[in-house]
Amino acid sequence: MQLNKALISKIKDRTAVIGVIGLGYVGLPLMIRFGEEGFRIIGFDIDDNKVERLNSGASYIKHIPSETIQQLRDGNIFRATSDYSNLREVDSILICVPTPLNNKREPDLSYIETTSDEIARYLSKDQLIVLESTTYPGTTREILLPKLEKKGLTVGRDFFLVFSPEREDPGNPTYSTKNIPKIVGGITPACTEAGKTLYEQIVDRVIAVSTPETAEFSKLLENIFRAVNIALVNELKMLADKMGVDIWEVIEAAATKPFGFMPFYPGPGLGGHCIPIDPFYLSWKARELNFNTHFIELAGEVNTAMPEYVVSKIADALNQKGKSLKHALILILGVAYKKDTDDIRESPGVEIINILKSKEAEVDYHDPHIPAFSGMRRYPHLAMERVELTEETLQQYDCAVIITNHSAYDYEWIVDNAKLVVDTRNATGKIRNKKIIKA
């Protein structure tokens, strides 16, 4: 194996400069971790607003404190820029740009492609390039490699290319970048070795796999595993409801089995940047091979039907009280897709608001972490500001709907003061009150 000793020793003695492209939920914690280990980092983002804020020492993500960014700025360890010519200064480039679906629900690789073109433009000998963005197997080899080799440099000898999937779980108090094991798969063994050496400086455990395709597929397996299991409990939730059985109690009981079972929980639908999107990267690629990914499609079908199901439960609950959904006053509690975060991307809460409004309900929301939202890709017409959450406001609404089980809420107080509570997360847990309808 032809190892690049100069690059490896620069990484090991931490004189290697790290370039992080895409300073979002993934890129920012990653660059902070390299900073903590004493590496110098240059962050690249096309969003000038983010670049400016980060250079002024401010964070724009709730669970990342500004002090952390300020410390890196004070130590002269980090600067942000939108000018790709700074790539000339870096030894390792980590690509953390978005990989969404387009409006035909097909992979949108435009961010990866633009970034690769820019990297190719400034590519120099001995650079290590890592793709971290979630994508279908084959992207690193089929999209990045040809662009990077155009300059006449050879992979595995002159430069190094690997895929290393991100496993960030924003807001998780137990697992963060350092103690989440990292998978690395390079185009050549020398590439894998360079990638492995790089991540060993910042994470406790690095697992080398034989190819980038294995690493790309492993990330999708992790997310598809979640999507399918969530769909399973979502379907069983609807059946249990018809049987008059509490699915939450069922899961709690089943989870006492010490082997062969892993609990997944139902909810109002999938949200976030990963689980609703990533599985379709694989099903799209599978179509090239004339292969149908039944589990992915079925899980998608069940999970995307959840917001409609929640709305039907709200309508039924109101109906029991002699009220129609039309003109009913509804308060949504929590619009972030995930507990204790301010992340609203693909949130089922917004979809539920949209459906309720289309049925002419009067809808407001409260979320302790999201004061206002507007301009979302799928809901350009929605612009809302949160209402204050007081006893008086709660009493005004015909129904309060718990979409996100934020820890900041006092659920007993909510149940005490609301006329009717539809709970999609079992946030009201063991509170016994006829006002509560699980959905």
Ligand X SMILES: NC(=O)c1ccc[n+]([C@@H]2O[C@H](COP(=O)([O-])OP(=O)(O)OC[C@H]3O[C@@H](n4cnc5c(N)ncnc54)[C@H](O)[C@@H]3O)[C@@H](O)[C@H]2O)c1
Q: Which is nearer to ligand X, 132 or 423 (CB)?
A: 132
Measured from each CB, the residue nearest to ligand X is 24
Taking the complex as a whole, the smallest distance from the CB of residue 237 to ligand X amounts, in Å, to: 25
State the DSSP H helix or E strand holding residue 156, giving kind and residue range, or none if neither.
none
Residue 306 CA to residue 235 CA, distance in Å, equals 9
Q: Which is nearer to ligand X, 168 or 235 (CB)?
A: 168
State the DSSP H helix or E strand holding residue 299, giving kind and residue range, or none if neither.
helix 294-304
Taking the complex as a whole, the smallest distance from the CB of residue 53 to ligand X amounts, in Å, to: 11
Taking the complex as a whole, the smallest distance from the CB of residue 147 to ligand X amounts, in Å, to: 13
Taking the complex as a whole, the smallest distance from the CB of residue 118 to ligand X amounts, in Å, to: 7
Place of tokens 């934020």: 406
Taking the complex as a whole, the smallest distance from the CB of residue 3 to ligand X amounts, in Å, to: 29
Q: SS3 string of 52-120? A: HHHHCCCCCCCCCCHHHHHHHHHCCCEEEECCHHHHHHCCEEEECCCCCECCCCCECCHHHHHHHHHHH
Q: Which is nearer to ligand X, 60 or 411 (CB)?
A: 60
| DSSP H helices in 144-211 | 145-149, 189-200
φ and ψ at residue 363, rounded to 5 degrees: -115, 135
CA-nearest of 191, 187, 181 to 219 is: 181
Q: Which is nearer to ligand X, 82 or 312 (CB)?
A: 82
Q: Which residues bind ligand X (CB under 6 A)?
A: 21-27, 44-47, 50, 96-99, 111, 114-115, 133-134, 166, 168, 170, 273-274
How many Å is the Cα radius of gyration of the chain? Answer: 24
Q: Which is nearer to ligand X, 21 or 384 (CB)?
A: 21
Taking the complex as a whole, the smallest distance from the CB of residue 323 to ligand X amounts, in Å, to: 39
State the DSSP H helix or E strand holding residue 317, giving kind and residue range, or none if neither.
helix 306-320
Q: Are 428 and 415 in contact (CB under 8 A)?
A: yes
Tokens found for residue 207: 């697992």
Q: How far is CA 435 from CA 151, 328, 398, in A?
A: 67, 16, 11
Taking the complex as a whole, the smallest distance from the CB of residue 95 to ligand X amounts, in Å, to: 9
Strands 92-95 and 17-21: parallel
CB atoms within 10 A of CB 420: 22
Catalytic residue among 96, 191, 274, 399: 274
Tokens found for residue 331: 């308060």
Residue 322 CA to residue 194 CA, distance in Å, equals 67
Is 274 catalytic? The answer is yes
Taking the complex as a whole, the smallest distance from the CB of residue 379 to ligand X amounts, in Å, to: 17
Q: Which is nearer to ligand X, 325 or 370 (CB)?
A: 370
Residue 317 CA to residue 424 CA, distance in Å, equals 13
φ and ψ at residue 423, rounded to 5 degrees: -115, 115
Q: Which is nearer to ligand X, 22 or 334 (CB)?
A: 22
CA-nearest of 43, 84, 77, 196 to 130 is: 196
Q: Which is nearer to ligand X, 81 or 312 (CB)?
A: 81
Residues labelled catalytic: 274
